[in-house]
Copies of this chain bind each other. A is one copy, B any other.
């Protein structure tokens, strides 16, 4: 690690040419009329000196830094949604970009700060990500940069990436119906009557809509719907317990609105001596880590976080794609549904 950086001037000097020539050659400008010979000399000199252009200096001139701002509420921070960042990192890497990651905890002041911070660093664009898909407040930007919303929506910005929850919801229903279930399916997490008019995040609303639509198409009704506001295991546990007390063995299958609820429900079933899938089949959403830890494994409609992250960055870099991109939610087949 010797002292000074190697600069373009060093390369030019070594090649016996001007920095202009060196710059043009190294950037592969097509219209230039520099000789073959000059090309060779510059390339050689750059290689010998192990020259790396200074991104800051270049950015100053060109306004492009190959750096993307990734501003999120609690994405990196949260085990759950870290796939978003993983996908974004991958895609950024693939196109020679780098991610400046900031987290705001959803605090509007920190959000403004974060935006300033990334704009100060001349990012080529900003991805705003949220852990739970929602309408995101975005303070006015003092500069015009491409913006993509990841797992979020905002009426001033059209470009967003969301999971295709509607189709996902339909798929979950089909998993049960295809396995022969019809009566006795319990919906765990949401009750249409009780939660009438209450706000659920954009995507969850679509998930539920897809479920109901497909149930209707099959001419099916849930045996019951248990409203659960927080979707953590303990709430699934208590909710399921209540339902078991109420309906006993007439419950044949559980459609849980996420894996953590399903996990909690499975604990309640285990306590009641009910086994999955022999007695009750279970299907759910997210493909959270817990789904693979369960025994038997939980069949679930996956939240395609990584792919979403990739799509967001791709969209950010390609001006052609725009609008709302829906990413497919694939079924992850495990052993929690019994064929009837």
Which residues of chain A have a CB within 8 Å of any CB of chain B? 1-3, 5, 50, 52-57, 59-60, 65, 67, 70, 76-80, 82, 85-86, 89-90, 93, 98-103, 110, 116-122, 140-144, 233-234, 237, 260, 263-264, 267, 270, 289-290, 293, 295
Copies of this chain, count: 2
Contact B263 A293 (CB under 8 A): yes
Q: A52-B120, A121-B56, A122-B55 are in contact. Are A86 and B103 (CB under 8 A)?
A: yes
- Which of B67, B102, B293 lies in contact with A233, CB distance below 8 A? B293
A28 smallest CB distance to B (angstroms): 18
Other contacts beyond A2-B142, A50-B142, A54-B60: 6, CB < 8 A: A3-B144, A52-B116, A77-B86, A79-B79, A89-B102, A101-B101
For A50, give the chain B residue with the smallest CB separation: B142
For A233, give the chain B residue with the smallest CB separation: B293
Contact A122 B54 (CB under 8 A): yes
In Å, the complex CA distance between A80 and B77 comes to 11
Q: A293-B260, A295-B237 are in contact. Are A89 and B60 (CB under 8 A)?
A: no
Contact A85 B80 (CB under 8 A): no
Contact B103 A100 (CB under 8 A): no
- Which of B56, B70, B80, B89 lies in contact with A122, CB distance below 8 A? B56
